[in-house]
Amino acid sequence: MQETRQNKIARLLQKELSVIFQEQTRSMHGVMVSVTRVRVSPDLSICTAHLSIFPSERGEEIMGNIRKSEKQIRYELGTRVRHQLRIVPELRFFIDDSLDYIDHIDELLKS
């Protein structure tokens, strides 16, 4: 039962975070941030989000900006999910570099 609730909340948070990042990156031309995976702790207090950043060369720079504005993102998320969640979880962001890894494997197989 607990795992079902965790999954529902993770899907909700993933959807809302992706909308928030889409709105924020609209002003930055040529940059796209997508939320690939979200996990929520069993007590629903910590949300771990994996972000895929395009172009990957600017990944560290964009991730630094995201970490600086973590409180603002959490506030925005709280205003969006205030009717579904009582407490907005603490946000933790990580870079999802699985697409870069796949590209690297493809390049190795071609050569």
The residue type found at 46 is I
* pLDDT recorded at residue 71: 95
pLDDT digits (tens, 9 = 90+) for 62-73: 999 999 999 999
When pLDDT is averaged across residues 80-109 and rounded to a whole number, the result is 87
* pLDDT recorded at residue 59: 85
Query: Distance between CA 19 and CA 81 in Å, rounded?
Result: 12
Query: Distance between CA 40 and CA 72 in Å, rounded?
Result: 19
When pLDDT is averaged across residues 98-107 and rounded to a whole number, the result is 78
pLDDT digits (tens, 9 = 90+) for 28-53: 888 899 999 999 999 999 999 999 98
Beta pairing, strands 90-95 & 46-54:
parallel
